[in-house]
Structure 1
Amino acid sequence: MMDDKDLEAEIHPLKNEDKKSQENLGNLPKTEDNLKNKPVPSRLSRCRTVAFFLSLFICLFVVFVLSFIIPCPDRPSSEDKWRLDYDYAVTYDFLALGDVDRDEVQDVLFLYKNTNSSNNSTRSCADEGFSTPCTFMAAVSGTNGTVLWERPLAQDVAHVKCAVPQTRDSKVSSACVLVGRLGSFMAVNFFTGETLWSHPRSFSGNASILSPLLQVPDIDGDGAPDLLMLSREGQEVSGALYSGSTGYQIGHRGSLGVDGDGVALLHVTRTGAQYILLPCASALCGVSVKGLYKRITGRDDHFKEDPSWENMLNRSAHRRLLHSSGAVRYLMNVPGKTGQDLLLVSSEDCKLLDGQDLVPRWTLGATQVLRKPILGHYKPDTLAVVIENGTSLDRQILLLDLSTGSMLWSQPLPSLPGAPPSTSLMTADHRSAFFFWGLHDPVSANEMDPQDTQHSLYMFHPTLPGILLELANVSANIVAFDAVLFEPSRHAAYVLLTGPASSDVPGLVSLTKHRVRDLVPGSRVIHLSEGSSDSDQAIRDRFSRLRYRSEV
């Protein structure tokens, strides 16, 4: 029979265990009693828990405030198209692009000549000391076509060059340099239009300025690239160097010792030596920048010369590098395997020259190139060159592999006299979309009247070699044109500057932007060959799905 203690333990086992625990605690050693008498850690744990949840609450509150209460900064909504008009004005063949207002959308700079200042300008011709009409420069937002800044800069402009924009806090301000026809020479801030410097140019009034203005590395140590201006007076071509940051002349004017004419080119050899190249009738002339610098400053502390090029030049009495089969019309620096190569277009042929020894890599004979070639990508990541061969009625578009000269694509495409040049935009598949102006539908010579016939803009992509897409028709006189990636990887559009054909007869000047993707649905599909099984709508859909990317 159980005694009372056993019966109690059986009925209340947990209570019995508690008693044992209490008894055991009473028998703990002295050291354990000391530990037991210390503060219980549960209070610290509670504090940690409270701190954790309080921090979590604060974080969630901050996220809530940033996400729902404080509005995110508005991203400018780029309009698909816009137009800016100036009445009773004339314009110039000049467009420059850059992010003037720092909204991550490319903006447009252009020139126009007007009797009256527009509503967007706070300064008139008289305010700047010019008689009317005078030349204005305007910066226009690529987002919506509003004028960012506008001001009169010269009586008339002969040349203009805009530097690639840098950041606002850059040591060297980005600038547009203008050379006036009546002797003015100035630079204006790219972002604000304010004058950075202004000086009379050093050339005589009878000298004609050769284009373009050339940029050379910093000579005077102020951190800004400097400018080289070439002029021709009679049979003499001379050059002068100017500081890019102040506009002051460096040294004096010096003769190049050549009788060249036309568009100059600054070429860098494989050794890093810089040479000025000029067409000289049926030859290519060259002068080292180092030699010119030494003549006009008397110093020998900048630039370098290439021994092999100096040997070629010293063997010629008139500093001719090579003879051409016809008059040299265009010169281009193009990327080569180990540096710059030269694309030379003459009245008889087109050839790619090795940039160091000037040996032809390939030659395209029997050509009559209409205008300066452009580059693009027919195959992925492989450069191609676009040649517009022939006169306006018998013009052919030729796409050649730049490295080999092999024919990739060709298409007859007549054009109107004075039609704008072709251009290209890189697409996401590492090819290019090409844009050509012309007249696909045949016309007779009697119908080739710019007053009555419209310019047509065609789009071509190498993935559809048998298709041209007619995007737009323009009846106005086109002064300048460019296809632009307004926003990285998303916003391809074309910019069109139209105005009077003669600078002596003012009229309507218009600057317009159209997004390419919005023009595709209403475009006309032109089949260049038989055999395409896709419907016109399926082809438009493929063009609409094209994505664009920056060249860099």
Structure 2
Amino acid sequence: MRPQGGAGPGALPPGPPHPTGSDARGGPERPAAARQQLRQPREGAAAVAYDFLAAEDVNKDKIQDILFLYKNTNSSRGNSSFSCADEGFSCPCTFVAAVSGASGSVLWERPVAQDRAFVECGILQPRGSAAPSACVVLGRPGSLVAVDTLTGKTLWSQPSSFGGNASVLSPLLRVPDLDADGAPDLLVLIQEENQVNGSIYSGGTGQQVSPPDSLGVDGTSGSILHVTRAGAHYVLIPCGTALCSRSVKGLYEKVSRRDSPLKSDPLWEDMLSAASHRLVVHSSGAIRYLMNVPGKAGDDLLLVSTEAYMLLDGQDLTPRWTFGTTQVLRKPVLGYYKPDTPAVLVENGTGPDRQVLLLDLGSGAVLWSQALPGLPGDPPSASLPTADHRSAFFFWGIHEPTDSNQTEPGAAGRRLYMLHPTLPGVLLELDNVSVPIVAFQVVLLEPGRHAACILLTGPASPSPPGLVSVTKHKVQDLVLAGRVVHLAEGGAESDQAVRDRLSRLRYRSEA
């Protein structure tokens, strides 16, 4: 399918070429600086990686550092100054680690849970605390631990009362500060049999602010916290083809029997069925994802079902537009295709039938589309805002030249592509990776100039365990070594001119 859209105003000017060699795929040789191993365990270490990456300036050098999770299956300390036994866990147990975004050195690593954990980082701590922020880890069996992101030290640890058959519905949801300690609190949703229960915990101490209470629904993972135009907080949970909801105010006040400063929204209370706690949403299939997205007067809701994308007004839930799909397995990614105009990147279909599309968030119109076969287990897509008020988009797939004689798709590994809206007729193949990828992010490590692709690689299951590593790929170096893919004939610029233009992109932080 031919790409849609044009360069428009603000396109990057051409510049002088960079001298470089070439590789067998038609692109220049990749410089060694394009890859930097941020963390690799010692020889013989055995571990399992978890699908989690976060960026935060841990050592206060004004460069973002990387936090990740892994399960250490080796009973010795290895690189860490702590073993599982030091924190009261049996081996194997789950570690959280921080590595320097500048040098790749390990800043700290520490055991935090016995088994697989849910993590929320960047949780502000109470006024006067020595730690400005924390990573809060919810592990099994029930434990809630806050780790100082600067030092890795445990700030507090609390048991959590989950039943043996209970499962935690990720993610952990930040709610307003109900215990008035200056730190946001956390809502934990637990699925037990056919019931979802909610508990609120203090983000500053881990103590239970509100004991478990049934939300009266049977939901699935993917819940979000939505703030209505009246300033009221509601939990939204996918419930098959329906959308279930409960106000945080009602959940807290019912169990604690105390008033709260939170608001309620009369319109939403009228829309909610008192018996089923369901909102009237006409979804054409089972709801897979919910997202808060920017609207004209507050956040709207992007609902992704098995058969369609639907943008709902964030207040009265009326549909603004619907875009039909055949099969959606990925959460969409927000960005900017036109300057300061939100767009959403979607993946429609799987395997050889997969398409990557960019939709205008306001209207649902297709801005760009391309057939791009994918492989099972491809990492999610990503975007990063650029200085021209657009975004660079990053996604994985397989684009073979028409004269390629490669018979097995993906035989060379998973391939990462970059698209910038000023060059809609070109993809840049940045890298191909043959090892299993557990997590992937594109991060602005330094404001304005140092963007990097971060890969967490290694086994995702303990059968068998293996090496877990975090690698930084500097975007500018990958661009200069990338293979240019022309999606349509007649491009006036040479491959090197395309690389030069994209290498001069400057990136900015999210607003």
Query: In structure 2, do the counterparts of structure 1 residues 548 and 415 end up closer, same or farther at CA, with 3 Å as the change threshold?
Result: same
Residues 118/530 of structure 1: CA separation in 2 closer, same or farther (3 Å cut)? farther
Displacement, 1:81?
Answer: 3.9
Structure 2 unaligned spans of 5+: 1-32
The residue type paired with residue 82 of structure 1 is: Q
Secondary structure of the structure 1 residue equivalent to 2:461 = coil
Query: 1:324-372 deviations in whole A, cap 9, x for unaligned?
Result: 2110000000011000100000011111000000001110013422200
2:485 corresponds to which residue? 526
Contact 2:245 2:277 in 1 (8 A): no
Among residues 370, 375, 384, which one is paired with 1:416 in the alignment?
375
Give the deviation of 1:444 after TM superposition: 12
The CA deviation at 1:429 is 0.9
In 1, the alpha carbon distance for the partners of 2:294 and 2:354 equals: 27
Amino acid at match of 2:174: Q
Instruction: Tell me the residue number matched to 1:97.
Output: 55
Q: 2:453 aligns with which of 494, 505, 510?
A: 494
1:286 is aligned to: 245
Residue of structure 1 in register with 2:69 after alignment: 111
Alignment identity in percent? 64
Q: Which residue of the partner structure matches residue 473 of structure 2?
A: 514
Q: Normalising to structure 1: TM-score of the pair?
A: 0.82
Q: Which residue of 2 aligns with 1:429?
A: 388
SS of residue paired to 2:138: strand
Task: Judge conservation of contact 1:85–1:508 (CA < 8 Å) in 2.
Answer: yes
1:68-83 alignment to 2 at 5 Å? Answer: 81-83=35-37
Question: Matches of 1:479 and 1:97 in 2, distance apart?
Answer: 16
Q: Is the 8 A contact 1:375 1:385 kept in 2?
A: yes
Task: Give RMSD over aligned pairs.
Answer: 2.1
* Offset at residue 168 of structure 1 (A): 11
Q: Quote the Cα distance in structure 1 between the aligned partners of 2:52 and 2:351.
A: 23
Which stretch shifts more, 377-386 or 496-505? 496-505
Match of 1:470 among 414, 429, 434: 429
Q: Does 1:544 align with 2:498?
A: no
Kept after mapping to 1: 8 A contact 2:34/2:478: no
**Structure 1 position 164, deviation (Å):** 5.4
Q: Assess if the C-alpha contact under 8 Å between 1:178 and 1:185 holds in 2.
A: yes
Query: Which amino acid in 2 is paired with 1:536?
Result: D
Distance 1:325 1:315, change over 3 A: farther
**Structure 1 position 398 matched with structure 2 position 357:** yes
- Per the alignment, residue 22 of structure 2 pairs with none
Q: Is the 8 A contact 1:165 1:190 kept in 2?
A: no
Q: Which residue of 1 aligns with 2:330?
A: 371
1:152 aligns with 2:108: no
**1:85 matched to 2:36:** no
Which residue among 230, 237, 243 is the counterpart of 2:189? Answer: 230
**Bigger Cα Rg:** 1
Aligned partner (choices 204, 224, 229) of residue 265 of structure 1:
224
Partner of 2:408: 447
- How many residues align structurally? 472
Aligned-partner Cα distance in 1 for 2:193–2:245: 19
Q: Structure 1: which amino acid aligns with 2:110? A: R
CA drift of 1:480 comes to 0.4
Q: 1:521 to 1:453 in 2, by over 3 A?
A: closer
2:314 to 338, 342, 355: 355
**Structure 1 spans left out of the alignment, 5+ residues:** 1-78
CA separation of 1:164/1:524 partners in 2, compared to 1, >3 Å: closer, same or farther? farther
Counterpart position of 2:132: 173
Cα–Cα, structure 1 residues 167 and 410, in superposed 2: closer, same or farther, change >3 Å? Answer: farther
Q: Per the alignment, do residues 239 and 444 of structure 1 end up closer, same or farther by CA in structure 2, a change over 3 Å counting? A: farther
Query: CA 1:332/1:382 → structure 2, altered by over 3 Å: closer, same or farther?
Result: same
Letter in 2 for 1:92: Y
Matched, 1:127 2:86: yes
Q: CA deviation at 1:523?
A: 1.3
Contact 1:183 1:205 in 2 (8 A): no
2:287 pairs, out of 294, 308, 328, with: 328
Query: In the TM superposition, what is the alpha-carbon distance from 1:157 to its structure 2 partner?
Result: 2.4
Matched, 1:248 2:203: no
Q: Find the counterpart in structure 2 of residue 219 from structure 1.
A: 178
Distance in 2 (alpha carbons) for counterparts of 1:202 and 1:502? 27
Which amino acid in 1 is paired with 2:416?
A: L
Q: What is the CA-CA distance between 1:163 and the residue it aligns to?
A: 1.8
Task: Write out per-residue CA displacement over residues 283-322 of structure 1, whole angstroms, 9 at most, x where no aligned residue.
Answer: 1111111111112101223312111111111376453342
Change (3 A) 1:220 1:433: same
Kindly provide the CA deviation profile for residues 45-73 of structure 1, in whole angstroms up to 9, marking residues without a partner as x: xxxxxxxxxxxxxxxxxxxxxxxxxxxxx
* Offset of residue 236 of structure 1: 1.0
Distance in 2 separating the partners of 1:280 and 1:351: 16
Change in Cα spacing, 1:142 to 1:445, as seen in structure 2 (3 Å) is same
- Report the residue type matching 2:64 in the other structure: Q
User: In structure 2, what residue type is equivalent to 1:243?
Assistant: S
Cα distance in 1 between the residues matched to 2:153 and 2:267: 45
Which amino acid in the other structure matches residue 314 of structure 2? G
C-alpha displacement of 1:417: 0.5
The CA deviation string for residues 89-121 of structure 1, in whole angstroms up to 9 with x for no partner, is 111000011000000000000111121455532
Q: Distance between the aligned counterparts of 1:270 and 1:171, measured in 2?
A: 36
How far apart, CA to CA, are the structure 2 residues paired with 1:393 and 1:169? 55
Deviation, 1:136, is: 1.2
Deviation at 1:445, TM superposition (A): 13
Alpha carbons of 1:158 and 1:151: their partners in 2 closer, same or farther (altered >3 Å)? closer
Residue by residue over 1:204-237, the C-alpha shift from the partner in whole angstroms, topping out at 9 and shown as x without a partner, is 1211111111111111111111111110111111
**Correspondent of 2:420 among 441, 445, 461:** 461
1:380 and 1:431 in contact (8 A); partners too = yes
- CA shift at 1:276, angstroms? 0.6
Q: Among residues 247, 254, 264, which one is paired with 1:305 in the alignment?
A: 264
Residues 445/273 of structure 1: CA separation in 2 closer, same or farther (3 Å cut):
farther
